[in-house]
Each structure stands twice: as C-alpha cells, then as structure tokens.
Structure 1
Amino acid sequence: MFKSLAKWAALAALPLVAAHNALADDVNLERSMLWSAYDVGSSGYTEASMIADAMMQEYGVRIRIMPSGTAIGRLKPLETGRVKFAFLATETYFAAEGIYDFASPDWGPQDLRVLLGRPASVSLATAADANIKTLEDLRGKRVAYVEANPSVNIKAEALMASAGLTWDDVQQVRLPSYGASLRGMIEDTVDAAIVSPGAPTLYELESSPRGLAWPNIPLDDEEAWDRLNKVAPIFEAAMETVGAGMSEDKPAPMAAYRYPMIVTYAALSDDEAYNMTKAVVSTYDLYKDSNPVMPRWDVKLSGRPPVDAPFHPGAIRYLKEIGVWTAEDDKWNQKRIEHLQKVKAAWKAARDDAKTKGISDDAWPQFWMDYRKEALGAG
C-alpha cells in the first residue's frame, strides 16, 4: 500500500460510515489507567499526554503516564501487566520479532498487537555539498551509524536497501548518539544521517555552509519499496511538507512509519481493546489541534496498516464498525500474524537446538539471529 501524506490528507477528509468525531457515550473504561511511553519531552510522551487529557476530560477517568528512555523500560511494564497500553515506536517491531534488545533468553518474540498508530516520516537527510541527489548516490559517502540505536540504524539500512545498497557500500561512521549523528553533518564528519524532518538541528544544517538536501526517493518504484520492506515491513511511501528544507510548494519524498503506536498484548480482551480504541477515536476533536502532527491521529490514517505488529481484533472490530477497515487490511493483518507464528516456532526450535548444543546465554543472541536468518530468511 503506497500513499503520500497529501493523499492521507485527502483520505482523512472523506466521511466514515459512522462519524467518529462524535463523542461516544457508551465507552467502558477502567476508572484508573497507567500507560507507558517515551521520556518526558519526547513527541511520544507529549502525544500520549494530549490523548490522556482528552479522555480524562470526556470520560472522567484517571490516567498516569510512566515515561522511560529505553525500549525495555517501556515494554517491561506491559509484559508484567502493570500497564495495559504503551505508546511505542519501532521497538514494537523488534519485540514482536525477538531481535536486538529482545533477542535475550528472557524475552524472545512478544505477542504484541496495535490499536492505532500515527503516521510519521523519516529519511536520510544529507549535507547539500555532498551532492547526494538520489539514494544510489550514497555509495562511497559517509553515513552515520548510531551505536546501540537499532531503531535509527534499521531505517538507514532499509532506505539504502531500496537503492540496492548495504553498509558495505558506504563509509559507515559510528557515532555515540542520534544527536551526534545530526551534528556530524554540520561538522563535516558525515554526509548523511537518518532523521525526522522536524528535528531542530536540520534548520541549523540548512543555514550552515554545507546546506541541507533531501535525496529523491522514487515513491512509485514498487521493486525499490519491496527491497526496503524486506528489511522491515513497516514502511510506506510519503510526501512530507512539514520540516526543514520543505514546504507545501516544495514537498520531500520520505518513508513513513508509525510513531507513536498504541500497543498492547494479544491476550488483552477484545472488549478492552475495542473500548480503548473507541475512546481514542471518539475524543479526536479534543486533541487534534494540540500540535501540528496530532491531525495524523485521524482514524482513517492511524487505523490502517502497515504498523509494526498485527492489529488487535478488538481494535479491528471497532474499525470495521466505522467503515475504516478494508479487505486489503485484513489480508495484511493475517499475513503478519502468520509470519509471527513462524517467528515463535523458530524461537522454540532454536532454544531446543541451543540446549542440545550447550549454547550459553551470552552466546544465545547471536546464535538466535543466525538461526532466525536461516529459518526465516530474515536478518
């Protein structure tokens, strides 16, 4: 499914079978809720707070948000049942697949489900003087790799894959943080770095001697997007107009993913997932004008694939009721569920094999990643 943010905006203007902006008076919620989210100051925390405020205002519930700066810190309360809902990003994909932080024996593939996910855009920003016009032009250039940040690096890997490139085809510059990767373009230590277009550092780069440029991403090249989504099937094409070096008159091609997503476990009852989804959608008019990105929580945008894990059946029930969910969405969801069943089966088989071979817990993550690649054809 390939669509631009401009098309998203047009889609959002279409009427639903049932108007979702009318506040629902038949939503059943727990009177007190605890959610996990990104750190205070992050857009994930801010957006969770705005949605919580709207729900508290409309339904009289109490909601407290538990912030964390780490993927494990956000997932652990969900895994233990301390929270039922978490506002997450790409760690949802990592946890569902049992990779990176979740490749340890204590974790493995998590049976996560998504209720809604707000579209966000991302690309490899480049210094204009590096003369990178297309993603193919990254060959031989200095591309930032952020230590211990797989969420950033997998996006760079995916975008490069769309052009048939890997880390072996560029000069990988390892940096200690996301912020350092952006500063590297200003300081002339890197030529390109993964970034969301609204990052403040980009405006500084734009006015610096190096300048800012966005490489062309062919939005209608399905083979390129197939290569991109083979790295992680969480992206779609987008034209972005909000951010440094772009405008309504000068949009930039991007890859879209979901941040934040409202995530829970598959074991959550359908009724709880249904009511939470309905509450978030029904209060949309109370939070949609809170900041420039909140309109993208419109259910016709946030209630459709692709997302980082399958949608919860309770959420799907509501999305069908209001005319958002399609047969195409059902096919996507079933394919993701079938894939994750294979991942869990591979994990079990790998654990049995590791026990037979005496693989230590320290050696397990690499053993699993190798086993997973062989069993699933996935990195």
Structure 2
Amino acid sequence: MICDLTRRAFLKRGAIAAGATVAMPGALRAELPGRMQWTAADVGSSGYIEATAVANALIEQHGSRIRVVPSGTSVGRMMMLKSGRVSLGYLANEAYFATEALFDFATREWGPQDIRALMGREALFGIVTTGDGPKTIADLKGKRVAKIQAHPSTNFKIEGVLAFAGLTWDDVEAVEVPGYSQGLQAVLDGNVEAAGAVVGASILREIEASSRGIGWLPVPADDSDGWARINETAPLFAPATMINGPGATPDAPVPLMGYRYPILSVLTETSADEVYDVTKAIVEGYDLYKDAAPVMVNYDPNRAGHPPYDAPCHEGAKRYFQEIGIWTDADEDWNERRIARMTAVQEAWLAATEAADDQSLADKDWPAFWDQFRTENL
C-alpha cells in the first residue's frame, strides 16, 4: 500500500503524465513515438500511480507525450486496448480472463483476445486467517471462506490457493461478502475462518494487532505436487515469499502465491520493434521511478522481466530481455506453452461458435454452452 502523503504528492506530479501537452526534453535512448496513450485502473489506484510513475520517467528521458487514461473496469481497459485508443494497458487479471474467454470475456461479443505482455510487477496473494485459526490450506476443508460478490479476480486467486491442497470451492463453506475489504473484516470479526488477501491491505495490520493475531496459510515452493495443482488451475501463479509485512519478518518469512499486477500488455499484432523500444525505455528509466512508491522496486527487470504473466511475453519484449541476458530457457519454455494454450483456446472458441450456430443457439444460452465446451475440450 502507498501511504496517503506519498499518494497525494505523486498524483500531483503525475498530472504531467495524465494530460501532458508540453514535452519535456531528455536524452533519447530508445526510439519512442512522440505521443502515446496508456490505460490503467482508476486515479488513486496502485496501477494508475505506477503507470504515471513510469510515464513521467519516459517523458523526462525521451520527451514523449504520454497520457494515462484511467478506467475503473476490466472491460473498459480491454476495450481501449482492443479498439486502439491506447497502445499499452496496465492490466490486472483481465489479461488472463481475456485470453481464456472467461467471465466478462465469455460473451459472444468478446471471446479470447490475442494479447501479449511486456513485463509484470510481482505481487503477493495468500489466504489470511487469525493466529489461532487453520494452519494449512488443507485445514480449510469444511471451514467458512469469504467469497466476494462480482469480483472474479480475487475468487479466482483463492481457487488457485485452494487447489494447492486439492480443494475447490465445493470443499469449503463459501460465505458471500459484498466486497474485498468486507472479506477481511469478516476474518477480523470472526464471521469466517479465512479470506483471500493481497499483501498490503491496511486492514491486515488490524488483524495482526487483534487479540487473536494474524495467520497465513503457507504455500511452500518445494511442494511440487501442490504447485502442479495450482498451475493446472492457471499458469500465471508462481512461488513467492513475504519477508516484510503483517505476520512476516526476514527471520520468519511466509511462503505465498505470487502473481503479476499490473501486467503491461499490448495487442499481439503490435510491432516487435515498437514493443522492443517501449520495453527498453521502461527498463532504462527504472532509476527515475523506482522510488515513486515502495512497490516500484519490483519493476527491476531481474524480477519483472520473467514470466509467468497472464499472457505470453511479446516477441519485442523477449528480444530485449534476451539482449540484456536475463531471458532463460525456463522463460522460453513457459512462453511457448502459454502461446500453445492460447492457440488451443482460440481454436476451441471457433469450434464452439460453429457448433452453436449449427444449433441456432440463443445468445442467452451461450455462456453455459461455452462453459461446458471448455470443460470438455480444453
């Protein structure tokens, strides 16, 4: 989380990127377009603040005019990227959902989207409980777990953590809550045993300071079977460790599930040279934005330049990471498998569409039809 003072100070500085009309001179390294529009989550969100920090660095170094266009919905951000209104999106898990034609993107109007990632900042996610609550993920069987209404991103991550122990939502008592914070409040109030949490939520400190304390359900990296089950659910998660935060210290780290937010995303059709130059500029500008907020250190290419991402790495970004010597054989293997998966989803969508047309399937019946088709064919 970014403190209020940092947020206010940075947003004031970020006005340049939000609506720049005067280019700032700087030393040109990569060849950037003179004008760019990006999209990110709403003003004040971490995604918007991070996008603005990077944009300001590129404005300072290259003189490009960059405007960050906020959008409060995943569909809104994807629509701007798909339509060409913006060239780069600071996306959340909608990047994965769009490639897989899930949730909002399962409609006939959307379907699987062909996008690629430049890089992604590591974030941590885990299932939080109280200090006297369950100790392992397996202990959640039959227990009350907060499930957030109309928030597939968090519920999807919880599903991933549950899979570590071979559990699903059917194995726990799902307690619906209206929002993310309400799920954590339910843990504090004792109305549920556990809830999904992004490390950094302020209410986690309240749970830690409570009489019962805070607990995290560990997701140890050395449990290969558990991680295989997680990655069967989705290939975008990887082992990560919290060493500082509520309930964790360097001497008592907590193994959690890592994911990427934001994922810097473009359409696959974007020129490899253009993506190469933007990736290069973002990496070379790191020293100018790394102190803008505590999380910005995670834009270090040695962290952010490796998958897993929600979508495959774009050829142009991969070329740059190969050039600076950080792209590995494991990265390439993951990328090839992710591209093959996306191809399979796109082919399945076409087959499902043809089958639905042959049956004169009504639009209202499409979501259930596609869900079943996915289960049987992917």
TM norm. shorter chain > 0.5:
yes
* 2:84 is the counterpart of 1:74: no
2:47 maps to which of 4, 20, 44? 44
Q: 2:152 — aligned with what?
A: 150
Q: 1:171 — aligned with what?
A: 173
For residues 2-29 of structure 1, give each alpha carbon's deviation from its aligned partner in whole angstroms, at most 9, with x where no partner exists: xxxxxxxxxxxxxxxxxxxxx9843111
For residues 9-52 of structure 1, give each alpha carbon's deviation from its aligned partner in whole angstroms, at most 9, with x where no partner exists: xxxxxxxxxxxxxx984311111111110111211111111111
Q: 2:59 — aligned with what?
A: 56
* 2:254 is the counterpart of 1:237: no
Q: 2:317 — aligned with what?
A: 315
Cα distance, 1:127 vs. partner? 2.1
Cα distance, 1:237 vs. partner? 0.7
Structure 1, unaligned runs of 5 or more: 1-22
Q: 1:291 — aligned with what?
A: 293
Larger deviation, residues 355-364 vs 229-238 = 355-364
State the alpha-carbon separation in 1 of the partners of residues 74 and 55 from structure 2: 21
2:283 maps to which of 261, 274, 281? 281
Q: 2:136 — aligned with what?
A: 134
Structure 1 residues 268, 136: closer, same or farther in 2, change over 3 A? same
Q: 1:94 — aligned with what?
A: 97
For residues 249-274 of structure 1, give each alpha carbon's deviation from its aligned partner in whole angstroms, at most 9, with x where no partner exists: 22111100001111001000111111
For residues 281-307 of structure 1, give each alpha carbon's deviation from its aligned partner in whole angstroms, at most 9, with x where no partner exists: 010011112222111111111111111
CA contact (8 A) 1:35 1:85 kept: yes
CA contact (8 A) 1:98 1:110 kept: yes
Structure 1 residues 206, 350: closer, same or farther in 2, change over 3 A? same
Residue 29 of structure 1 aligns to a residue whose secondary structure is coil
State the alpha-carbon separation in 1 of the partners of residues 320 and 93 from structure 2: 24
Q: 1:205 — aligned with what?
A: 207
Structure 1 residues 219, 327: closer, same or farther in 2, change over 3 A? closer
CA contact (8 A) 2:27 2:62 kept: no
Structure 2, unaligned runs of 5 or more: 1-25
1:108 maps to which of 111, 129, 136? 111
For residues 322-377 of structure 1, give each alpha carbon's deviation from its aligned partner in whole angstroms, at most 9, with x where no partner exists: 1011222112111111111110000000001111112211211121111011101x
Cα distance, 1:66 vs. partner? 1.1
For residues 130-156 of structure 1, give each alpha carbon's deviation from its aligned partner in whole angstroms, at most 9, with x where no partner exists: x21111111111101111111101111
State the alpha-carbon separation in 2 of the partners of residues 210 and 39 from structure 1: 35
2:272 maps to which of 266, 270, 273? 270
Q: 2:326 — aligned with what?
A: 324
State the alpha-carbon separation in 1 of the partners of residues 305 and 85 from structure 2: 25
Q: Which has the higher contact order (CA 8 A, sep 6+)?
A: 1
CA contact (8 A) 1:237 1:255 kept: yes
Residue 160 of structure 1 aligns to a residue whose secondary structure is helix
For residues 86-112 of structure 1, give each alpha carbon's deviation from its aligned partner in whole angstroms, at most 9, with x where no partner exists: 001211000011111100011000001
CA contact (8 A) 1:92 1:308 kept: yes
Q: 2:262 — aligned with what?
A: 260
The residue type equivalent to 1:31 in the other structure is: G
Q: What TM-score, normalized to structure 2?
A: 0.91
The residue type equivalent to 2:72 in the other structure is: G
For residues 223-266 of structure 1, give each alpha carbon's deviation from its aligned partner in whole angstroms, at most 9, with x where no partner exists: 10000111111111111123211122221111000011110010
Identity percentage of aligned residues: 46
Q: 2:193 — aligned with what?
A: 191
Compute the RMSD of aligned alpha carbons: 1.3
Residue 121 of structure 1 aligns to a residue whose secondary structure is strand
Cα distance, 1:211 vs. partner? 2.3
Residue 363 of structure 2 aligns to a residue whose secondary structure is coil
Q: 1:16 — aligned with what?
A: none
Matches within 5 A, 1:16-31: 25-31=28-34
Cα distance, 1:196 vs. partner? 1.2
State the alpha-carbon separation in 2 of the partners of residues 371 and 282 from structure 1: 45
* 2:19 is the counterpart of 1:32: no
Q: 2:252 — aligned with what?
A: 250
Residue 294 of structure 2 aligns to a residue whose secondary structure is coil
CA contact (8 A) 1:217 1:254 kept: yes
The residue type equivalent to 1:261 in the other structure is: I
Cα distance, 1:191 vs. partner? 1.3
CA contact (8 A) 1:35 1:84 kept: yes
CA contact (8 A) 2:187 2:195 kept: yes
Cα distance, 1:209 vs. partner? 3.1
State the alpha-carbon separation in 2 of the partners of residues 262 and 232 from structure 1: 19
For residues 56-87 of structure 1, give each alpha carbon's deviation from its aligned partner in whole angstroms, at most 9, with x where no partner exists: 11111111111111110111000000001000
Q: 2:16 — aligned with what?
A: none
State the alpha-carbon separation in 2 of the partners of residues 329 and 202 from structure 1: 33
The residue type equivalent to 1:333 in the other structure is: N
Q: What TM-score, normalized to structure 1?
A: 0.91
